[in-house]
Amino acid sequence: MRYKKQIILFTIISVLLSFSLLYWAGTFSENGNQTNEDTNGNETSSVMWTKNYGSTSADVAYSLVETSDGGYALAGYTRDWDNPEKNDNFWLVKTDANGNMEWNQTYDKGFHETAHSLVETVDGGFALAGSINYVTIGRGSSPPSKDVWLVKTDKKGNLEWNKVYGGVESDSAHSLILTSDGGYAIAGGTYSFGAGDNDFWLIKTDSSGNMEWNQTYGGNGTDSASCVVQTSDGGFALAGSTESFDDKDTDFLLIKTDPNGSMMWNQTYGETNIQYASSLVVTSDGGYAIAGSTGSYEFLGSRDYWLIKTDPKGNMEWNKTYIGPFIESASIEQVSSLVITSDDGFAILGDTYYTDPLDSSVVVGHQVWLVKTDVLGNIEWNQTYTGTDANSLIETSDGGYAFAGETNSFGNSRPDFWLVKTDPNGNIPVSPVSSS
């Protein structure tokens, strides 16, 4: 009897183990990407994967959103190297939840166009903001003249309307948001207007892109806004970098406005080193968090990630510096994107690299670097990835992360759009990348 019980127990364990192995084997698709299945056995969103999009052109993605249908949209530029007469164009790529391309569209104004920021609109379409560079026809003075370009599409990426904003000098767009009244706000820099050199520039439009007002902020030095958010009082907060308020160095600059763009207050952050602010978020307590890079206090010529947390008036509450994974003393860490995570922590994306000590133009080592912190900025984990550049980060609806940028790492001689989906701990597949 005891022998029979042992046989039965062994059989049950074997069956359970077989089902477990079959389940885990089924969670990976043929291209090595981890997948999920719904109750009907249909494949749903993958937990983690990497994709690249492009061909012989040079393609760089600067902005990423998760779309209302569970997929993704990426925007940047595409350049046709095989056709020297062809200029850069805005490029918009739409994918499903697993990163498979559903469609793509290019937008051409006849010059060099680069899309820097993307939003999904309330009607399921998209709006892209960036710059038109007129260098091809020698318009304007030095630096080459640029204008801000806003493009609105339907849900398939078909152009509905576009608007151009700018003066006789160079004006650029770095950040686009939907506003609470259904319009748009665009932040960037302007040489055409303002106090002197490049200044912060904030443009407010209606839902059709017609300018309602614009405001400049800055001094006699170079000031440029990297990011804009709308605040709970209907006003705006802009973050970027300034040379106007320090005789020696570049600092973070945070500006708070009322709903009409009039400045309410501003704060600068920085000491004796150069600081570049890249991304801004509003925190759950009504304060702000700004991420960027700061000149290293330990190694001359290097830079580190820098995260600042402020109260609602912009007074600094704490700041954290993060030194990259390369042990070389002159490594450089550059932040591109900051998000607040679902646990009220922060995720910071950027690049880390170091150069040849004898020739700073030669990059010896380079990685994309993702840092996850708790609510006080203490590192919980960090991950590095092989790729050329990472420019935009989001936390996905399943608690993972997705980021977009460019890569030369997967067979093409010129950069492709690069989209990476991670699990909640920043892990990605070890299998080869799947190209689309």
Give the span between the Cα atoms of 185 and 203, in whole angstroms.
6
Give the span between the Cα atoms of 280 and 419, in whole angstroms.
22
For the chain, the average pLDDT equals: 82
- Mean pLDDT for 315-340 is 86
Residues 6+ apart with CB under 8 A from 407: 52, 387, 388, 415, 416, 418
Q: For residue 229, what are its two tokens?
A: 């958010």
* Residue 135 in this model has a pLDDT that exceeds 70: no
* Count, residues in the chain: 436
Q: How far separated are the first and last CA of the chain, in Å rounded?
A: 60
* Residue 34 in this model has a pLDDT that exceeds 60: no
Closest CA to 310 of 229, 390, 202: 229
- Please report the DSSP string for 144-185 in residue order: PPEEEEEEEE-TT--EEEEEEE--SS-EEEEEEEE-TTS-EE
Q: Distance of alpha carbon 206 from its chain centroid, rounded?
A: 25
- Mean pLDDT for 230-242 is 95
pLDDT, tens digit, 9 for 90 and up, residues 152-202: 999 999 999 999 999 888 899 999 999 999 999 999 999 888 777 888 999
- Mean pLDDT for 399-421 is 83
Give the span between the Cα atoms of 131 and 120, in whole angstroms.
19
- pTM for the model stands at 0.84
Q: Kindly indicate whether the domain formed by 49-435 is annotated with CATH number 3.90.930.12.
A: no
The whole-number pLDDT of residue 431 equals 52
The whole-number pLDDT of residue 169 equals 85
> What three-state secondary structure class fits 131?
strand
* Residue 2 in this model has a pLDDT that exceeds 60: no
The whole-number pLDDT of residue 106 equals 94
Domain ranges of the chain: 49-435
8 Å CB contact between 389 and 405: yes
pLDDT over 70, % of the chain: 77
Q: For residue 262, what are its two tokens?
A: 């009039």
Residues 6+ apart with CB under 8 A from 118: 63, 64, 65, 73, 74, 75, 92, 126, 127, 128, 129, 176
Strand-pairing partners, residue 179, are: none
* Residue 380 in this model has a pLDDT that exceeds 80: yes
The DSSP H or E segment spanning 290 is strand 288-295
Tokens 């104004």 belong to residue: 109
Helices (H), 211-355: none
Q: For residue 51, what are its two tokens?
A: 């994709």
* Residue 21 in this model has a pLDDT that exceeds 60: no
Residue 249 pLDDT grade (very low, low, confident, very high; cuts 50, 70, 90) = confident
Give the span between the Cα atoms of 252 and 308, in whole angstroms.
10
Tokens 């748009």 belong to residue: 184
CB-CB neighbours of 103 under 10 Å: 12
Give the span between the Cα atoms of 289 and 292, in whole angstroms.
10
Give the span between the Cα atoms of 410 and 52, in whole angstroms.
8
The whole-number pLDDT of residue 24 equals 32
Tokens 């080193």 belong to residue: 273
Of 57 and 394, the one with more pLDDT: 394
Q: For residue 169, what are its two tokens?
A: 């000098």
The whole-number pLDDT of residue 409 equals 59
Q: For residue 234, what are its two tokens?
A: 């209907």
pLDDT, tens digit, 9 for 90 and up, residues 271-304: 767 788 899 999 999 999 999 988 755 554 578 8
Give the span between the Cα atoms of 434 and 50, in whole angstroms.
7
The whole-number pLDDT of residue 429 equals 84
Closest CA to 44 of 421, 424, 426, 370: 421
